Structure formats: structure tokens, C-alpha cells
Chain A
Amino acid sequence: MKDTQAQPIVEIEDLRVTFPQAEGSVRAVRGVSLALHPGESLGVVGESGSGKSVSWMAVMRLLRAPPAEVEAGRLRLAGIEVMQARREELTELRGRAAAMIFQDPMTAFDPVFTIGHQIIETIRAHRATSKRAARAEALDLLERVEIRNAEAILDSYPHQLSGGMLQRAMIAMALSCRPQVLIADEPTTALDVTVQAQILQLIKDLQDEMGMGLVMITHDLGVVAETVDRVVVMYGGKVMEEAPVVELFEDPRHPYTRALMVSIPGQEGGRRRLTEIPGASPDPSDPPEGCPFHPRCTQADAQCAAEEPPMAVLGPGRRAACWRLT
């Protein structure tokens, strides 16, 4: 489905997000650049606090300003510069150019309206259809996300459903306007282990079926291996490495990526989750000089501590920012 000739759906160039605070600003995103082409699937991986969510919230213009201060050389969604977009343009883009699903399905729905109401209002926000037609569509969507008693679920309130069911409903709602890209921010973290795999498979299937782009934000390399074509590894608000998924696993070039892989316990069974890399992630209000990873990097030398490594292009679709590339 990858189509690199066409215009990218998402273009991010030198994105910076800061949260000013009394005790020094939190620099959550510090110069991220990347692009997503139609139909492509991208994994965004990194430890907690590396700026994954904030970057994509910025793309959707969902960060409240204040407190957030967003700057970007270019920030485009479906070819439209979102930093300059008017309110109406933004509401049109959201849900249609890009839809987003979030980590905690239990808090994602308005508790006082039914699931059906919330899907129908999404459809009707973007298209002039009758309530009846929108309801039929919503029913169809729920069936597509493999909800069996869809009719009953449509008339249920959020508190009556399980987390897995709600996540399916949230996916249905996100897909209701046929978005060009689906941004999934840790869509399985809050769910039971048994349900996690089903939801991931569902997202993957729907992406293939609908030919949309996919951004899978996660701190679980295992999730990435199963669902995406290309991976961006983030650390301390920056991109450390980017590579097609197979190449990344076969030949990780950045020491941070390697450390992440080592920290995956047992590739086959159980939970493949990022665990301890020795040392603590950088303080976002006082990031280290030079390479953000150098204090924890086993290969770091004086240069790493002093100068920021440039982003080096290592091949088609491959890049990394490191002084000690192997």
C-alpha cells in the first residue's frame, strides 16, 4: 500500500513543544522531523516521557495553548499547515484527515451519552446524513470491529461495557469518517493481555482493508514488530533512529535502539515490553548537553557529551543520530 510518490499525509519538520513551568520549562519535543505517506504504517517507540504522545497531539492541534508552546518549521496534515489553520479547518481535518484513538478507553467516552449517540454525532459532524442513515452506518462500523451484539451496544452507556469492548467502539468511532490516517496512542496498554493481541490484529486488518495510514505509538517493541512497516525510535524528545521494521530488528544502528532490544525479555512468550535500561530517562526540564542518551550510553565519549549528533542518512528510509554509529 506504500505510495512514496504521493504527497505525505503527515509532514513534521523540526517540531518543538515546550510547557513553560515555574521550575524551568518542560521541553517535551525538541526538533522532531518525519513524514507519513498514504497507506503507510509507522511505529513510534520510546520510553515513557520521550515525547511520543505530545508530538502527535501537536499534529492534531490538540495541545491546549497555553500551557503548550508549539513551534514547527512545517506541520502539515493532508497538505494543510495546521499551525495556521482556522478553527473550522481544524475541526474538518480532525476525524477525517486523521483520527486518533487513545490509551484509556474507559475515560474516552462521554459517560452521559450512549455509544451510538457518540458515533452518530461523529459521522454527522463531517457529513450531512440523516440520523437514521448515520445509525445504520454506526451499526455497520460496530460489526466491522467484531462486536457481536452491535444493536445492543449501540444503545449502551460507556459504563456498561468492558475495556476491550470500549476500545473496539472507540476504533469504530475513529473509523467512522474514513480517516486517511489513524493515530493509535498505546491502544492496548490499558487492556487485559488476552484482549491486547485481538485489538492489535483488528487495527492491522482494518488498516489493510481501508488502505489508511497508521501511526502506532507504543513503548512495546513487540507491538511494533507485529503491526508496522517502519519505526521511529524516540528518546528525550528527539528522533534517535528511523528504519524499516525488519531492518531495525535485524540491524539496529543506534545504541539506544540496541539497548531497547536487549531489554526485551524473551522474544517468544509472555510480554515483550521495554523494561529497564540502566539509568534514568533525562529530566525534560533540564536535558543533557550533546546526545540526550549519552549519560546512559555504554559507548559514549567526550564528543557525545559535548555536541549534538547530526541526523545521518544511512540508506533508503534509514537514519540515525549518533556519533558512534556502527
Chain B
Amino acid sequence: MTERDGGRRPREGRSGTVPDDADAGVRQSVDSPLPSSLVPLEARRLSVHFGNRSALDCVDARFAAGETVSLLGPNGAGKSTLLKALAGILPPSHGEVRLHGRAVRRPSSAIVYVPQRSGVDWGFPVSVLDVALLGRGLRRSRFAPLGGRDRRDALDALERVGMRHLAAVQIGQLSGGQQQRAFLARALVQDGAVYLLDEPFAGVDVPTQELLVGLFGRLRDAGKTIVYASHDIAQAVASSDRIMLLNRRLVAAGPPARTMTEANLRAAFGGQAIVPVASSAAS
């Protein structure tokens, strides 16, 4: 927690989401265009359909280097769908995803994606360390075993998620929260520019939550882009630079204080009683 607070910088001027159809009465934060070097990842008029049902409708979003963005919205809002489309594993029906200014049609090693639920076979004969090393294996020569440096990086990543003492344990013998952290370690070993995490805070205890917040803070300070979906509004407000409110369409995006207005929350979550966090001056 403490290192996260220390590293906190105001970044009002850098947040940038440029929606192309601003609903009347719903506040959008529209900033001046950013140089593309600061925008590793961008979604342009992104739409995803499943059959004839639309899950995402014309979403525009830009994600800067060194920022933490949380995606909020009700169940079925399209948060997971947006993250998968950004990761390049779900082809959009319309629009495109751009990485460093270039359209991406295939998954890229610069983008690290951590799914909502890992559908892995928990009985698979791999240890926690093996799982972390998977983050490196595909990028190393197939003619040689992984080197000592890769092992050190993997152990280091396990240390950072507090799992080093469990490195030799078979993956199925961990608790749910520990399994989640093992996959997070693998994501760290992948060392991408952009981290897309689907509900990383779901089902973890308070110390782990704090550990994750600290971890994301350090990644952000190292210039990475972190985008995560969440249902914990207070947590998102407290520890992200920007919030995107999603409900099939992009409802609003911007710094927490300016985005979490009553009108926006109502537009995103419908009639549910959610206390707005933004001050009245913000809307």
C-alpha cells in the first residue's frame, strides 16, 4: 500500500479517451490527442458481436504508458469481451485495436492477458515454478533448455507475488487465491508493455489485494499500461488513474473524481443504488 501511495502522481492531463458519440447528459473526459509513443494501446470504434447480439458497441479507448485503468460495469457489460478483443484473441466485428500505432490482428507478445478464470487442468504435472516459466518458454530457442536467467526471473516474479516458498508445489495443490497469484507471476515473467487483467481482485484476501495494488503501482511506475476489469468500485476509485465505465458502450472515461458521477453511474449500472464518489462540482 505505502509504496503505491508514494508513487501516486496526478495524471489528469494525460488521460485520454475520445468517444465519438457523446451521449447528452453523460460526461466524457475528452483530452487533447496524445503522441502515439505514449499510447501503446488503442481501440478504435471497436464492436464485438456474438451471433446477432452485440456485446460491445463502437468503443473508442486509448491507454497510455504508465497508467492504471479500471474497467467498471455490470455483469455482461462487455468488460471481459473488451479485454479479449484488446488482447487479440477475440476478433472484433468492426473497428480495430492498434498497438504502438499499428493495427494488431494477432496476439502480440507485448500484450499480456490474464483471464477472469483460468480454465486449466489443475491435475497437470507442473509446479508453480514451471507455470511461471511458461511465460518465458515460448520466446526462447527451442534447441536449448531455459537458462539460469529465466529461472531467476521466474523465482523473482514468484517472490513479488509472495509465492516463492511454494515454487515446487504442483499447481493443483494450491488454494484458489494462490493459483491466481501463480498465473500473475507468469504474467510478470512475460514482461509485456501492456497488462490486461480480468478481475484480478475477485476472490483474493485483503493482504493479497494490497499486494496486487502495490504490484500494479510498481508496474505502472515502470511505464507499463495496466488495464483491469473490476466490480470493486471503491477499490478502483482509490487505486486507478482512470476509470472506464462500460455498458456495452463506453459510458464515460476519465480520472475517478470526474468520471464517477451520479449520471454516469446511473447510465452504466441502470437504476441500481450506487453512491457516486465524485463531488457535485465535477458533474
Q: Do A and B come from one complex?
A: no
- Which residues of A does B touch, CB under 8 Å? none
- Which residues of B does A touch, CB under 8 Å? none
